[in-house]
């Protein structure tokens, strides 16, 4: 072979080598379907590389592929301290099923424990690996509520309920090995192949039992066997080895969803958690309906005259009650007034008065815009009394634009002077900004799974409202149970930033730094607590009650009893809490935020009331009313900062 031919061969070899490398990179690492016939091989190769961390850049593994640990047994996830005594309550708890209180490994499908009030429920999941081919029967018994789900393959997405027991269906207490109390306890025949993996999940809720022995038994009758047997570890394998996550109670988005929750989740059964039915009508669309008038309530403090003002007088003496129609009463929430009168945020407004004001206003709208708008319904009327000058109303009305039959929410402040010779008017400077940027500020340490919930809650709000002006700011004291940068990067939130620093938790320090990190003085800043469910209507409610240079909004939220949720409310109005406060950043800076005694505070208590003191002394009006869009979950103090 002469030199020229040799060079040609070497060049050709190099070319095809490079081509094959490019092909591998594009087809395999880039996940392109270059060879459809080799699709399964491609998936396995990519999965193997991901498990070796060559390609893992923060994304989840494919849950239908090789998340599989050959360790024997099932993942055992335990939920406790939250009074979740039914599967329905469990499924409406916001961090179920992704963030259990305990993670263990169980070697057989049987649980026996003495009754402990702290334990609510158990979730077992993994793979069933039968050693015989043929028809299998499954059976379940327990002293609570239990369901067994089995997939025809290894995918959790294909699982179906095959057996269940509910204590409400029984006439007497069930005992161990009693699989025939009700028909639903025993499955139909299920054909399984030996050495094939089948996803299995078992959920067990203890119900209302307070004493005695708690037990769950799931058994199978294998081909050729005459009796039911507890499934032992030799026929079980873990879904994932997550025992290392038990220490920090982390949120794991790779865990499968719970199929059985689909029939129990009722987030929209509570009407207040639904999105607004119509978009808001812009101020300019009806600005000509009324003349404008000066608005200066007689009860607002003059910042230059603060003689006699003492600590917490803002809350105790300068929060003026709102009167609302219709009055926000929620099934399951205690309606009786048990607090001192100064802490009752809202009283009912008479229906007759509400309709009288609305009809008078709509008459002026008709005169100014004849044939343009038609009243469909009253959504809400709020009233603030000023004994010296008159009454201010916030009208929220469902109206129809008769020119195109589109629906809108007309939401405007009007003022009715005490002097009856004067007509209704728009209070000057009290028109709310529909597109104001709203920053929800969360401060946290060591509660990463609830931070996950907060982020998902805001994602849902944005999905419902398409709100491009909603932002998230999280101040984290170096929590070991969440990679905040990674979680935010993978979320669907566009508007967010976070601050992470070491040290002991301080609500005041973290809020001050978080607010300082927001550049826009025209933005609304909102201090919020953890452990909340926030309905999407809350964001515009904040905008309506925050007027720059005029008002600060401190909504009264709902405190849920142990076991309650926003979908299944059980609790009471949180009369004394000012944990959620909203105002324009410029107003925060003008009155100075926290007083000097709270600036570096690292203990709980008083900081929220201190904000109200500062706002009142700064000449701002406090808007305080019931907010049926915010629910604070019961929680123990264990593990908190």
Indicate if 471 and 616 belong to the same structural domain: yes
Looking at the chain, the whole-number percentage of residues with pLDDT higher than 90 is 73
Mean pLDDT of 380-391: 97
- 384: domain CATH number is 3.10.450
CATH number, domain at 107? Answer: 2.60.120.260
Tell me: pLDDT of 385 over 80. yes
Cβ partners under 8 Å of residue 587, min gap 6: 548, 549, 552, 615, 618, 620
Please tell me the predicted confidence (pLDDT) of residue 50: 28
Average pLDDT taken over every residue of the chain = 87
Question: Once rounded to an integer, what is the mean pLDDT over residues 338-366?
Answer: 94
Grouping H, G, I as helix, E, B as strand and the rest as coil, residue 614 is helix
Q: Indicate if the pLDDT at residue 326 is higher than 80.
A: yes
500 and 601 part of one domain: yes
475 and 610, same domain (yes or no): yes
Residues 456 and 596 in one domain: yes
The confidence band for 547, taking pLDDT boundaries of 50, 70 and 90, is very high
Q: Does 386 map to a domain? A: yes
Same-domain status, 415 and 540: no
Is 177 part of any domain?
yes
Give the end of a domain, one of 402, 427, 452: 427
Express each pLDDT in 514-544 by its tens digit. 999 999 999 999 999 999 999 999 999 999 9
Query: Same domain for 422 and 463?
Result: no
* DSSP conformation letters of 423-478: PPBEETT----TT--EEEEEEESS-HHHHHHHHHHHHHHHHHH--TTEEEEEEE--
Total structural domains in the chain? 3
490 is a domain residue? yes
Cα–Cα distances in angstroms (integers) from residue 456 to residues 40, 145, 481, 493, 511, in the given order: 33, 29, 17, 9, 21
Residues 245 and 350 in one domain: no
Q: What predicted TM-score, i.e. pTM, was given to this entire model? A: 0.86
Whether 53 is in a domain gets the answer no
- Structural domain range at position 411: 283-313+325-427
Residues 507 and 525 in one domain: yes
Q: Is pLDDT above 70 for 630?
A: yes
Task: Residue 442: name the closest of 450, 434, 430, 432 by CA.
Answer: 450
Could you give the CA distance from residue 630 to residue 559 in angstroms, rounded to a whole number?
9
pLDDT, average across residues 138-161: 96
Q: What pLDDT, on a 0 to 100 scale, did the predictor assign at position 355? A: 98
Residue 50 lies in a domain: no
In a domain, 273, yes or no: no
**Do 379 and 511 reside in the same domain of the chain?**
no
Reported confidence tier of residue 171, pLDDT bands at 50, 70, 90:
low
Lowest mean pLDDT among 4-8, 257-261, 348-352, 509-513: 4-8
Where does the pLDDT of residue 267 fall: very low under 50, low under 70, confident under 90, or very high at 90 and above? low
Among 403, 427, 451, the domain-final residue is 427
* Residue 501: band (very low, low, confident or very high) from pLDDT cuts 50, 70, 90: very high
Residues 404-454: pLDDT tens digits? 999 999 999 999 999 988 899 999 999 999 999 999 999 999 999 999 999
Contact, 36 vs 203, CB < 8 A? no
Tell me the C-alpha distance between 639 and 530, whole Å.
Answer: 14
Whether residue 52 has pLDDT greater than 60: no
Whether 421 and 443 map to the same domain: the answer is no
Q: Specify whether 600 is located in the same domain as 453.
A: yes
6-16 pLDDT, tens digit each? 444 445 555 44
CATH code, domain carrying 536: 3.90.550.10
Q: Are residues 563 and 623 in the same domain?
A: yes
Asked whether residue 168 carries a pLDDT value surpassing 80, the answer given is: no
Residue 507 lies in a domain: yes
Instruction: Flag whether pLDDT at 247 surpasses 70.
Output: yes
Of 100-109, 116-125, 163-172, 502-511, the poorest mean pLDDT is in 163-172
Residues in the chain: 641
Is residue 11 a part of any domain in this protein?
no
């Amino acid at each position: 072979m002469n030199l020229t031919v040799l060079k040609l061969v070497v060049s050709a070899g190099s070319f095809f080598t490079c081509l094959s490398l490019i092909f591998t990179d594009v087809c395999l690492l880039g996940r392109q379907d270059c060879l459809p016939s080799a699709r399964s091989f491609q998936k396995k190769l990519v999965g193997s590389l991901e498990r070796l961390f060559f390609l893992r850049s923060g994304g989840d593994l494919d849950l239908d592929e090789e998340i599989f640990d050959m360790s024997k047994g099932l993942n055992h996830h335990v939920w406790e301290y939250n009074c979740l005594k039914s599967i329905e309550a469990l499924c409406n708890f916001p961090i179920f099923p992704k963030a259990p209180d305990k993670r263990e490994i169980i070697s057989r499908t049987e649980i026996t424990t003495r009754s402990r009030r702290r334990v609510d429920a158990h979730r077992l999941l993994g793979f069933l690996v039968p050693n015989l081919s043929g028809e299998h029967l499954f059976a379940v018994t327990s002293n609570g509520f239990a369901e067994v789900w089995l997939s025809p393959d290894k995918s959790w997405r294909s699982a179906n309920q095959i057996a269940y027991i509910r204590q409400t269906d029984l006439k007497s207490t069930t005992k161990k090995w009693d699989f025939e109390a009700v028909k639903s306890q025993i499955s139909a025949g299920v054909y399984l192949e030996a050495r094939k993996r089948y996803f299995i999940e078992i959920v067990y809720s203890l119900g209302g039992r307070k004493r005695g022995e708690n037990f769950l038994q799931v058994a199978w009758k294998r081909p050729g066997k005459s009796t039911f047997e507890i499934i032992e570890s030799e026929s079980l394998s873990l879904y994932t080895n997550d025992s290392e996550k038990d220490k920090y109670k982390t949120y794991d988005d790779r865990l499968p969803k719970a199929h059985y929750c689909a029939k129990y989740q009722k987030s929209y059964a509570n009407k207040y958690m639904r999105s607004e039915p119509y978009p808001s009508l812009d101020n300019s669309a009806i600005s000509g309906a009324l003349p404008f008038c000066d608005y200066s309530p007689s009860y607002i403090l003059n910042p230059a005259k603060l003689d006699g003002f003492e600590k917490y007088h803002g809350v105790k003496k300068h929060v003026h009650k709102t009167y609302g129609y219709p009055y926000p009463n929620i099934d399951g929430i205690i309606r009786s007034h048990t607090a001192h009168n100064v802490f009752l945020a809202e009283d009912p407004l008479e229906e007759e008065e509400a309709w009288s004001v609305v009809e008078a206003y709509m008459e002026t709208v008709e005169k100014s815009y004849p044939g343009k708008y038609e009243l469909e319904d009253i959504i809400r009327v709020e009233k603030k009394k000023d004994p010296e000058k008159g009454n201010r109303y916030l009208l929220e009305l469902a109206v129809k634009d008769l020119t195109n039959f589109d629906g809108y929410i007309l939401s405007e402040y009007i003022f009715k002077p005490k002097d009856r010779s004067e007509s209704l008017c728009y209070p000057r400077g009290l028109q709310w900004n529909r597109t104001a940027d709203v920053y929800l500020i969360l401060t946290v340490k060591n509660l990463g799974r609830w931070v996950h919930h907060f982020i998902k809650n805001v994602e849902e709000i944005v999905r419902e409202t398409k709100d491009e002006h909603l932002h998230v700011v999280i101040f984290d004291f170096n929590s070991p149970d969440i990679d905040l940068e990674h979680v935010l990067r993978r979320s669907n939130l566009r508007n967010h930033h976070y601050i992470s620093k070491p040290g002991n938790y301080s609500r005041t320090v973290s809020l001050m730094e978080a607010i300082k990190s927001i550049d826009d003085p025209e933005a609304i800043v909102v201090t919020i607590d953890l452990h909340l469910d926030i309905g999407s209507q809350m964001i515009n409610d904040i905008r309506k009650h925050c007027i720059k240079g005029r008002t600060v909004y401190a909504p009264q939220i709902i405190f849920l009893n142990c076991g309650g949720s926003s979908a299944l409310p059980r609790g009471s109005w949180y009369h004394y809490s000012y944990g959620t406060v909203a105002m324009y950043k410029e107003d925060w800076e003008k009155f100075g935020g926290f007083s000097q005694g709270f600036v570096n505070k690292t203990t709980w208590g008083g900081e929220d009331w201190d904000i109200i003191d500062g706002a009142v002394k700064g000449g701002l009006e406090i808007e305080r009313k019931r907010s049926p869009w915010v629910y604070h979950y019961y929680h123990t103090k264990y593990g908190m900062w």
